[in-house]
Amino acid sequence: MVEDDFEIMDRDAGVSAVLEPEVRTKKSGIVAYRDSLIKDYHGGAQSLSERLRARGLEGSEALLMMLLDEIVKESDNLLGNHLVASENGELRDASVISYKRTEVLEKAMKAVQSKQQFERENGVDLDSPSMMIVMRFFLAKTKRVFEQMGIPDEQSDLFFTQLGESMEDWKKELKEEFESVKGG
């Protein structure tokens, strides 16, 4: 039997963590335990993508923000492992973990920079959760102003109905506006 890197490291460390083949394939064993840990980690969701959908987040910006959040959490996990290794006098392990943490943080930084570059070059992501928040904010402000002005509910409702109808293709029209600003 050929040992993989993990088995070699376990043997060198004196750890006997290798599971028998039949235990590895049973859903009721370690795999089920791992799946339950993942579900707990994601607050009841089976995966990161399921967690995104449950929160109603879609689009590239939502995915990027969730992935960045995961990267930051992983960098904290690595930091904790680094500190434990350092306290245990395992300086070689602490150095390796520290280096890996630096790599993780560099990747997060590059992702943020790429997003900023994309926004500079391509404008606003109309499908982003931020855009939806901005739209709801302005619509709520409009409704509040109507109420302060004493405009009857029927007129307010008529306004929002007409606005909804006139904004049926708002994304397409807004993209065209951005293009005209870029081009002119």
Token duo for residue 134: 């901005």
Q: How many CB atoms lie within 10 A of CB 13?
A: 10
CA 97 from chain centre, in angstroms, equals: 23
Determine the pLDDT at residue 146.
92
> Domain extents for the chain?
1-41, 57-122, 129-183
Contacts within 8 Å (CB) and 24+ apart, 118-121? none
Q: Enter the tokens of residue 18.
A: 């290798």
Question: Does 22 score more than 80 pLDDT?
Answer: no
- For the cut 60, the answer to whether the pLDDT of residue 25 exceeds it is no
pLDDT digits (tens, 9 = 90+) for 116-151: 787 777 667 777 777 788 888 999 999 999 999 999
pLDDT at res. 15: 63
pTM passes above 0.85:
no
